[in-house]
Each structure stands twice: as structure tokens, then as C-alpha cells.
Structure 1
């Protein structure tokens, strides 16, 4: 969902979230803005799609 809102690939989202280089300032801004919009609406990428690894033992 984040990559769709930002209009970028999953790899670009990963680079932005891991603070890697090779991402333009404009693309970084779009990804972070899309992330803010998702948090405002209470959504998190992948939330509920897999069990909590710490409590699933």
C-alpha cells in the first residue's frame, strides 16, 4: 500500500525506510509523506498479515 500511494517500487520504499542512498530528495519526500498518511489513518503495512514473531512460540 505504501509503495502504491508513493508511486514507487518496493525497493525504493525499502531504501527510504533504511535511510540508504541513491534516492532523490523528491522521492524520499513522497515515500515519507505516504507513510504519514497511512499512520494518520491507522494503517500499517503488513499489520496482521503474520503472527507476532516474539509471542508466537
Structure 2
């Protein structure tokens, strides 16, 4: 079964914040983009690299 979460912001983001990124989780990768300029491109990251990134933030 495949999945795609669609684009979302962190629950820690406020509606008035101008410094947010949006994330999209799919079977293939994690995709990140600037919420202020969503049409300017995105970065794809492997699931394992994303887990390492999140772990490093904790």
C-alpha cells in the first residue's frame, strides 16, 4: 500500500510565522519546500536521512 501525506507544516508552526517549511511524506522520499515560495522547488531526502536529521534535533 502506498502513502502520500500531502504537504503539511509542523504543529509547532504558528499561522503568522514567516519562517516555515512544508514537508510531504511518500513511499519514495521525504520532500521539503519553503512555505513562502512553494513553487520555487523542493528538496527530496531519503527516509533514512530524514530520520537521522530528526534524531539530531532531539
- TM-score normalised by L of structure 2: 0.29
More helix by percentage = 1
Higher relative contact order (CA 8 A, sep 6+): 1
- TM-score normalised by L of structure 1: 0.30
Structure of higher CA gyration radius = 1
